[in-house]
Structure 1
Amino acid sequence: MKKVYCTVLSLMFPLLGFAESGEKKTKSDTLTTVAEVKEDEESKGTFAFSGYLDSYYMANFNKPLSRSNMGAAGTARVFDRKSGQFSLGLVQAKAVYTNAKSEAVVDLTFGPNADYGNYGNLLSPLDGSKTGTALAIKQAYFTYKFTDKFSMTAGQFGTHIGYEVIDAPANYNYSLSNLFNNGPFYHAGLKATYAFSDKASLMLGVVNNVDGLGDNNRKKGLIGQFFFSPVANWNVYVNAITSNEANVDEATGKEPDAFYRVFDLTTSYQVTENFLLGLNAAYGMQKGEYQGYAGPEDSESWGGVAVYANTKISDNFGIGARYEYFNNDNGVRGVLAYPGGAGTAAIGTKVNSVTLTGNITLADGHILLKPEFRLDAYPKAGTGKSEQFEDSDGAFTKSSQTTFGLAFIYKF
């Protein structure tokens, strides 16, 4: 016991201002020692591990023979693709290390939705012919804080564009919007953020391209985001990206004349403690090839808007609604129709979507149950033409699709 007591005193002496040899230390020596201890504590940082897993069951009222919610174009849904069966969504394991000057994030994902969310990763195509560990990387980046106002981030990070994200627990609705599906998912590059105050900041960055770990040409994309908060509880994000997404011409070794641009507005206002309103609007333009897919010779546009309203009814239950209109009449993005049937030329189209989602929390918020109703309505193709959705006989006779299901999510 005496030995332990002496050891404790010996550790305390430097902080109390006395040398172990009995010599008196000066005031400046004491202050230096305290500063060193504080600096050492800050450099140690903190480590956090989190994640989630989700699965779902989705009933499709059209009873499609293929048990698919994807429609003729294969793009009607993002992640909740299957109907009439229990399906695994995504499993996430996220590690974050933070200290006073930096942060490092390794965000790994597994499962079908991890595959879809990394579709630009050529090591892991959806057809299953190849596999690669790069599939598991959703995000991998670090941030260095030069000052309290200025920081830089390098690596692979989720896109800044849009209202919704890949992670199911972070979205109020389980199914994702067409705006999410037709915008970027992630980028690899370098970005810098300057905070003018806690109510305004600016981010600018340089990235390889859209949704790819590697670059498909020598051009680099530019990204930007301006954040401001006009009043308390109101957040506004003005986002943009411009990039040349055309593959290098193998014959000449040059990049074709092409561009891909998106301007995006995302905003939310916490009206009361229990009621939130949100808005996402986007306008995009494209000219030329897009990552191997033929594009318009001249600039063509697409766009949409989604409105969100969420209300908390009790500590364990809430309900949220989303209305979305998405227009791709020019055929630039993935919302397409095939009135001539499978194998014929695609044409642009538009869609109105209404989603109603309940949120039930259990186990102190670790378990989320999300019952959800969704209706997607496309213009009718006309008599004798192929419609957007499949019926129980496998024929495309439906211009709309209604689904109802339940998502099961556990987060930790």
Structure 2
Amino acid sequence: MKNFTRVLLAALLVASFAATAQDEESPALSISGSVDAYYRVNLNGTNDERTGGTIAPGTSFANKTGFALGMANLIVGLDGEKTGFVADLAFGPRGTDAVFGSTTASSSIVNQLYAYWNVSDAVTLTVGNFNTFLGYEVISPTANFNYSTSYMFSYGPFSHSGLKADMAFGDFSVMLGVFNPTDLTDFNPTGRYLGGVQLGYGGVYLNFLFDDDFFQADLTAGWDLGESFYLGVNATTASDSFYGGALYLQNSFSDDFSLGLRGEYFSDQGVGAITFEENVIDLTLSANYSIGNLTIIPEIRTDIYSADEVIEDADGIDVSGDPINPTYGSNLSSFTIAAVYAF
């Protein structure tokens, strides 16, 4: 497998460097992005760090209590006939969590940074740092229906730095890539590389990420089952080790209002994703209400853990600082309302 990744890396690098010989007229600069903020409260767990610490689902983003910030996302790009680039910068807690593998202050705001060459109508080469091709959900809240994220998304991967080739043949697509270790975005300190493969057909994508010591397989799909109803599917398994599956059901009631339910099962087999126990079920009901470019997302989420008595609630603290009338349960229910503005 090492030989495979080395040969693929060499071939893609040669093709990538050849792109510098291509001349084209300067395309127009584009600027886009988003800002988001939210309010979150536990419905059956403590919201006071003095009574045992605030509790949140064991997933990325939207995990603070009270009024909290997401991120400011600024995306600058040039999309030419043959070549282009994307510089995607993220500021704020969500952005910081998304690029946790960065090692320098300057790279800690870089969500994506890549250049690409359209070799032909069917083949595109991309080099740099880009968000992962695995999974159903993404870092930007503008591209997710639910504001909080799933366990499968949260535990990997977020981003890759490397070189990839995307090839399209009608309804069938193939991606081949070579990457640094997962989420090591600004350089590779290990000398280890991973291979990546994506096979796509008719909205169904089968994804693989691997080296000699690691293997992850991921299935992502989505279908419009009518004019207003949508079904999404995600399933993944990783050798280091977790597996899970999720269904995404969404219905549009008008151009401005829709409802969606995410139902997910996640099993932690050694990665340490869940603090409490090995298995969790995530049920998340979200609404999307749009006012121009602003989307309001109220959301009720319940996480059901396989362990008993892991969520603590209390009426307050006594004079000695101990919780008053603490109670415990095996599920956590929370309410979040988010505001996401895209431009």
Partner of 2:260: 320
Partner of 1:332: 271
Q: Cα deviation per residue 1:203-244 (whole Å; 9 max; x = unaligned)?
A: 010001101122241121111111111xxxxx1011110146
Q: Is the 8 A contact 2:46 2:55 kept in 1?
A: no
Q: Does 1:391 align with 2:304?
A: no
Deviation at 1:282, TM superposition (A): 0.3
Structure 1 counterpart of 2:249, one-letter code: A
Q: Cα deviation per residue 1:27-50 (whole Å; 9 max; x = unaligned)?
A: xxxxxxxxxxxxx9x723232110
Structure 2 counterpart of 1:405, one-letter code: T
Structure 1 counterpart of 2:95, one-letter code: A
Equivalent residue for 1:58, pick from 40, 46, 58? 40
Distance (Å, rounded) in 2 between the aligned partners of 1:152 and 1:318: 37
Gaps of 5+ in 2: 1-22, 317-322
Q: Does 1:269 align with 2:223?
A: yes
Partner of 2:301: 374
Q: Does 1:120 align with 2:101?
A: yes
Partner of 1:148: 121
Higher strand share: 2
Partner of 1:351: 280
Q: Cα deviation per residue 1:313-367 (whole Å; 9 max; x = unaligned)?
A: 0121110011000011x32341242xxxxxxxxxx5100110000000002xx00
Distance (Å, rounded) in 2 between the aligned partners of 1:169 and 1:390: 33
Deviation at 1:150, TM superposition (A): 1.2
Partner of 1:251: none
Distance (Å, rounded) in 2 between the aligned partners of 1:225 and 1:241: 9
Distance (Å, rounded) in 1 between the aligned partners of 2:327 and 2:68: 24
TM-score normalised to structure 2 length? 0.85
Distance (Å, rounded) in 2 between the aligned partners of 1:68 and 1:103: 45
Q: How does 1:76-95 map to 2 (within 5 A)?
A: 76-83=58-65, 85-95=66-76
Q: Is the 8 A contact 1:374 1:404 kept in 2?
A: yes
Q: Provide the secondary structure at the position in 1 that maps to 2:108.
A: helix
Deviation at 1:166, TM superposition (A): 0.5
Q: Is the 8 A contact 2:195 2:210 kept in 1?
A: yes
Structure 2 counterpart of 1:46, one-letter code: A
Gaps of 5+ in 1: 1-39, 124-131, 230-234, 245-258, 287-300, 338-347, 382-386
- Over the matched positions of the two proteins, sequence identity in percent amounts to 33
Q: How does 1:25-64 map to 2 (within 5 A)?
A: 43-61=25-43, 62-64=45-47
Equivalent residue for 1:204, pick from 176, 180, 203? 176
Structure 2 counterpart of 1:181, one-letter code: S
Partner of 1:308: 248
Q: Provide the secondary structure at the position in 2 that maps to 1:164.
A: coil
Q: Does 1:405 align with 2:339?
A: no
Structure 2 counterpart of 1:324, one-letter code: E
Q: Is the 8 A contact 1:182 1:333 kept in 2?
A: no
Q: Is the 8 A contact 1:275 1:310 kept in 2?
A: yes
- Larger RCO (CA under 8 A, 6+ residues apart): 2
Partner of 1:161: 134
Q: Does 1:189 align with 2:159?
A: no
Number of residues of Structure 1 aligned to a counterpart in Structure 2: 308
